[in-house]
Chain A
Amino acid sequence: MQVEYNEHYLPNGIRLIFIPTTKFKTITMGLFLHQELRRELAAMNALLPAVLEQGSRLYPDKLRLQRELERLYGADMYADILKTGERHIPAFTFESAHDKYLGESGKLLKQDMFVLGSIVGDPLIENGGFKKEYVSREKNQLIKEIKALLNEKGAYAYERCMSLMCKNEKFGTYKLGRIEDYDNIDSAGLYSYYRDIFTHNPIDFYVVGDLEIGQVLEEAAEAFSFSRNGEPKTLAGAKIDYPVKEVQYIEEEMSVNQAKMILGLRTYTSYRDNDYSALLVYNGVLGAFPHSKLFMKVREEAGLAYNVHSRLERHKGLMIISAGINYDDKQQVQDIIEQQLDDMKSGNITDQELENTKKGLINSLLSQQDSPTQLVSFHLNGAIGGKVYSPDQLIAEIEAVDREAIRKVAEKVTLDTVYILRPREGGSEQ
């Protein structure tokens, strides 16, 4: 079954993308406010969804908002900040069960949209700003969340590597910003910033479900009727052409049992480029699957890691290799990884590795069509990357990738940073 993405514009310029489908038991919506990733704005962008989901004019606190969601059969509303490439996007997703499984008669769409419209378009305002109590409380929560990155050693090592590798690039900004940036934000300033980006920046609104387009447009125009007058802003794509002068090696210590090794590489290929599909295949052969070189060599053959894989930052053109290892094995692991990178360059790839990778990539692209939120993400990536593929088009491109195309990608892939989080000297304290 072919996925349909139907694009429309609401009177106030919000782009509505409707995905009609009968296969899900839900009504799913996603609203994305596009903004650039910038160090000085990061804390504000992160704070916006957190403050907005505390309550609106009509549902002025979390208790009342949650009770309304419960009345809508436990609808789930989730506000978050996304960082992808050099975009920083306050995001709101909303999902309720579909009426037809509840003996209700088609009223839920209107009520769902009403709540979401209230949260993003009609916030709780006092003295010309967001409610002070919510702003200070959510600042505090986000600062705690920044500190809590420490709790997940793998994620911590990944973020440390990215921030060291891209320290002079927008991408080096952590998605929740820096702790010190929160000091200078006040509720009036934050609200006027929100008014500004809400008016000028692109907004994509997705609706997925067994619904009629006429009704979707009508309800959306009513629930999102706020005015957005002003010049629409266009946002730049990520800058990816940073050269590597020499490889940086960085080690840091923590009281941990296992060392984390993260390799940051630049691929100089991003989502919109013609060789993006070749990069997908390259990354798949190298480390995205259990059949990939990294898993087979580091884990299955050498038994040196439980966890080892590579992944792409598709909009920024980065590839990140991660492994959880014994610190004493670090040289051996790094040698094996570098050998695999060399093999990719010299075209030392078996037919089977190539075929399996293509099949694996196609399987995962098709599987995405079975989840409403993944259907949304696929299109949103196109909106961010400046090139909207249809799933079939991307699949056809992947099928056409040959060794030569992979070799060309491999030529460009350059190691930039090796980061190791190692156990404190003298072993762990436990």
Chain B
Amino acid sequence: MSASFNLIENRELHETLYHYRFFPGLDLYVLPRPDYQKKYAVFSARFGSIDNRFRVEPDPQVTELPDGIAHFLEHKLFEDERGNVFDRFATLGASPNAYTSFTQTSYLFSCTANFEQSLEHLLDFVQEPYFTEETVRKEQGIIGQEIKMYEDHPHWQVFFNLLAGLYRKHPVRNDIAGTTESIARVTPDLLYRCYSTFYHPSNMALFIIGDLDPGQVGSRVEANLEKRGYTAMGEIVRLFPDEPEDINRERSIKELVVSEPIVFVGFKDNRAKYFNGKDLMRREILMELLLDILFGSSEPFYNDLYREDLIDENFGAEYTAEVNYGYTMVGGETRDPDQLYEKIMEGIKKIKAAGITREQFERHRRKILGGYIRRFNSLEFIANNFLAYRFREADLFELPAILQQVKKEEAMELIEENLDYKRHAVSMVVPPEDS
């Protein structure tokens, strides 16, 4: 093959990853997993719901996109000129799927037979767009139902209301599927424009895992790309509004039919945008440790609140960091959202004053390491997470090494910086008064 190739070995996990780069810039990763029945492939474009303004070097012309178009495009690629993409996968006995997040769109399949043809089909349907006025109109109806489904979903509502509370301008505050109004503005022409930019191979990556020969897989992918006559493309410049440091609104309350109120407290991380790659991963690991020490089920905070009937087993905390935004969220279902909110803020204040112990830090470090190894049973976990990290220039396989390096003192600094009272917002879903 004419492509560049390198091999990445991970001794702790007993894994060997093969990496190829093909003209005009597609990265392919193959991880052999002998003994597994299943083979899994995921083909991702770095195009998510937040990418709603862009231009392509050297053209100064800026394109603005309606909210929800990345997700809309995901739906529409499942249709090609010959009909439904599902049909062909079904004939091969493979199981396809796709999803769109804030930052990427992924197309995938798993199979236990006919791998080569299934891979060929994945590469073909993703690289052969077909949109017409009529199919776009029909999809507006289907996605309309999907949006409605989410409107009835209490946790989804709490989540997006909190993001809209934390962010004033950044598109992370918008629902991934958009709104009924925004998707009404989607046209075939706009879909083609998104497609030719964000689905250029240099903005995509492919991860394949299973009982496979990497060399053979590599040749297939290369041959598939070569027949399409790609040319190099200028750099995509994603344009994001200048997000102010302060939050948009402190409190969001929505009435929905729920048995108990739900409350989430969020903290805006204004500094995440200064980090990338390894450093961003380090920040993420530190935050995971920190949140586990603060709110995990082996610590007094959780156990006290559980005893006081303020939380249930689903109470939890999570930190998310991407190259240009970041936030922490803590919460769950509760009989008394105001009191739980107070307790969370109090808990953070207390730990800022008292600090964390070496014993705590080491115990949680050990827990996260074991949890990470356990997840490597899942081919889907490895493939999906590898690409998500890859798009922010980090490497999933480096996680254990970084986890071993991080220090308690760094975590303490992050509490001050990242769980800042001045950058917090709260979102609640409460039952309607008449029910």
Binding site for B on A (CB under 8 A): 1, 21-26, 61-63, 66-67, 69-76, 95-98, 101-102, 137, 140-141, 144-145, 147-151, 153, 254-258, 289-291, 295-296, 299-300, 303-307, 324-326, 352, 355-356, 359-360, 362-364, 366-367, 369-372, 429-430
Contact = CB atoms under 8 A, between A and B. Distances in A.
Contact of B306 (A26, A62, A300, A356): A62
A366 B259 contact: no
Nearest to B371: A74
Given A306-B146, A430-B151, A366 B38 contact: yes
Contact of B113 (A69, A150, A295, A359): A359
A324 B149 contact: yes
Contact of A257 (B14, B148, B333): B148
A141 B312 contact: yes
B297 interface: yes
20 contacts: A25-B374, A63-B303, A70-B298, A70-B366, A76-B374, A97-B370, A101-B14, A149-B259, A258-B148, A289-B90, A291-B86, A291-B87, A299-B142, A306-B149, A307-B145, A356-B91, A362-B112, A363-B110, A429-B255, A429-B432
A317 to B, nearest CB: 26
B257 A150 contact: yes
A147 B256 CA distance: 14
Contact of A102 (B141, B259, B370): B370
B401 interface: no
Interface in B135-161: 138-139, 141-143, 145-146, 148-149, 151-152, 154
A49 B366 CA distance: 27
Interface in B79-138: 84, 86-87, 89-96, 110-113, 138
B90 A73 contact: no
Nearest to B37: A366
A286 B117 CA distance: 26
Interface centre among B33, B149, B255, B299 (most CB of A within 10 A): B149
Interface string B319-338: 00000000000000100000
B260 interface: yes
Given A101-B12, A258-B145, A303-B138, A95 B374 contact: yes
A76 B138 CA distance: 45
A137 B367 CA distance: 27
A101 B91 contact: no
Contact of A359 (B90, B154, B303): B90
Interface string B374-414: 10111100000000000000000000000000000000000
A366 B112 contact: yes
A369 B257 contact: no
A370 B377 CA distance: 8
B20 to A, nearest CB: 25
Nearest to B259: A147
B313 to A, nearest CB: 8
Contact of A63 (B33, B89, B298): B298
Contacts of A140: 309
Contacts of B89: 290-291
Given A66-B298, A151-B259, A367-B112, A356 B90 contact: yes
B154 A151 contact: yes
B307 A137 contact: yes
A32 B345 CA distance: 41
B35 interface: yes
B369 interface: yes
A1 B149 contact: no
Interface of B, secondary structure class, is: mixed
B14 to A, nearest CB: 7
Contact of B90 (A153, A257, A291, A306): A291
B2 interface: no
B13 interface: yes
Given A66-B298, A67-B298, A144-B260, A101 B37 contact: no
Contacts of A366: 37-38, 112
Interface of B: 12-14, 33-38, 84, 86-87, 89-96, 110-113, 138-139, 141-143, 145-146, 148-149, 151-152, 154, 254-260, 296-300, 303, 306-307, 309, 312-313, 333, 363-364, 366-371, 373-374, 376-379, 432, 435
Contact of B259 (A96, A148, A307): A148
Contacts of B110: 363, 367
Given A23-B35, A63-B303, A257-B151, A102 B373 contact: yes
Contact of B145 (A74, A101, A324): A324
Given A25-B374, A62-B306, 16 more contacts: A23-B33, A26-B373, A63-B297, A67-B298, A73-B366, A101-B13, A141-B313, A289-B90, A305-B142, A306-B143, A352-B90, A360-B95, A369-B37, A370-B37, A371-B377, A430-B255
Given A61-B303, A101-B12, A306 B94 contact: no
Contacts of B299: 63
Contact of A258 (B12, B96, B149, B432): B149
Nearest to B14: A101
A13 B350 CA distance: 51
B254 to A, nearest CB: 8
B36 A23 contact: yes
Contacts of B141: 303-304
Nearest to B312: A141
Interface centre among A71, A101, A148 (most CB of B within 10 A): A101
A427 to B, nearest CB: 12
Contact of B152 (A74, A258, A290, A370): A258
B257 A256 contact: yes
A262 B193 CA distance: 40
Q: 5 shortest A-B CB distances, which residue pairs?
A: A359-B93, A73-B370, A74-B367, A291-B90, A66-B298
B374 A371 contact: no
B126 to A, nearest CB: 17
Nearest to B79: A300
Contacts of B91: 352, 355-356, 359
B379 A370 contact: yes
A23 to B, nearest CB: 4
Contact of A147 (B260, B303, B369): B260
